[in-house]
Structure formats: structure tokens, C-alpha cells
Amino acid sequence: MSNIKYNISWFGILLVVIGIVMLLDHFSVFDIDFSTVFWPLMMLVGIVIVSRGFVGINRGKIFWGSVLFLYSLFFLIRSIDYFEIQGRLIFPASFIIFGIAFFMMYMGNIKDWPLIIPAAILGGMGTLFILTEYGYLYRWDVWEAIADYWPVMLIIVGIVLILKRKSYTSPPPQTPAV
């Protein structure tokens, strides 16, 4: 008897199921709206990845799971006819999505406070760009302000690097040899 373990790739199974559903839809076996199924499914995958990241304290899973969830949410809202969201909003929404993803990494480890800075910068820039897209601010005024004040970002990052403390752990006590 051998002890062979088989690891099932749930993501692979998900891709097979999505492919079969899309193929059956293409050949008119049944009619299904792709966006009403795909984007909620991707949101679910994003939530699963984020939750695994929080359980295992894995910053990469928290970040990319948040990005997947938020992009899927954006495209789901865009596909619903109830809201008027143009495709050109993907650029400013990307800033906000990555800002929220940095904030989620911060929530995974509160001691990692420097993550608040890129979250605030990206979220603020995304908000400014969305306000320009909807006509509340003039586009060239925003770009001019960014061109004038981008060195402030360098100053803030430098201060964070200076103030960030490295945590040193003392080596475990050695037991005396008998």
C-alpha cells in the first residue's frame, strides 16, 4: 500500500467549470449572461483568497485577493444597467482598488503602519481622478498639482523609512550542556 496524496487544484476545477459553461453558452445549449455569473464568481474567489491570507497572515494573498475582489466588483457594477459607469473610469478606479488593497494588507498586520501611506496616496489620487471624470475638478488642475507636489511623496516615503523601526528578537536562551 502506498501513501500517495493527491492535491486537488480548486482553481483548476473552477476554470474547467467556467470553460464548460462558456462553451455550452456559445453553442446555445442554454442562454446565460456571462457577466452576471463570472464577476460574482470571481468576487467569491477573491474573498476566499483574502480570507486564506488573513488566516495564514500572507500579505500577498491579502493584496491580490483584494485586487481580484474589487476589480470583479467594479466590472459587475459596470455590467448592471442600473448604474452608469463608463469604461474610462477603470484608470481612476485602479488607483482606489490598489489603495484599498494596501489598506487590507495593513489590516492583516496593524503593526505594519507604513502601508497606510501608499493606501492614502493611491486612494486620494484615485478620488481626484474620479472627480475630474465627473466634472467636479478640472483635469489639468489635478495634473498640474501632481506635477508640482510629487516630491512631497518622496519626502513622506523617506520619513517613513527613517522612522520605521526594525524589530530585533533576542536569541532564545541556551540550555546548559550537561
Is residue 85 pLDDT above 80, yes or no? no
Look up cell 540550555; give the residue: 175
What is the total count of domains within the chain?
Answer: 1
Is residue 7 pLDDT above 70, yes or no? no
What is the DSSP secondary structure assignment for residue 115, as one 8-state letter? G
pLDDT band at 177 (very low <50, low <70, confident <90, very high): low
In a domain, 17, yes or no: no
Q: Which is more confidently placed, 135 or 172?
A: 135
Q: Three-class SS string for 137-166?
A: CCHHHHHHHHHHHHHHHHHHHHHHHHHCCC
pLDDT band at 98 (very low <50, low <70, confident <90, very high): very high
In a domain, 2, yes or no: no
Separation between Cα atoms, residue 25 and residue 34, nearest integer Å? 9
In a domain, 66, yes or no: yes
Average pLDDT, the chain: 80
How does pLDDT run across 53-77, given as a tens digit for each residue?
Answer: 888 888 888 999 999 999 999 888 8
Percent of the chain exceeding pLDDT 90 equals: 13
Residue in 159, 127, 162, 173 with CA at minimum distance from that of residue 146: 127
In sequence order, what DSSP letters do the residues of 75-88 get, joined into one string?
A: HHHHHSTTS---GG
- Which residues span the domain enclosing 90? 28-163
In a domain, 175, yes or no: no
In a domain, 8, yes or no: no
How does pLDDT run across 99-155, given as a tens digit for each residue?
Answer: 999 999 898 888 888 888 889 888 988 888 888 888 887 878 777 877 887 788 778
In a domain, 95, yes or no: yes
Q: What are phi and psi of 134, to 5 degrees?
A: -90, 0
In a domain, 11, yes or no: no
In a domain, 12, yes or no: no
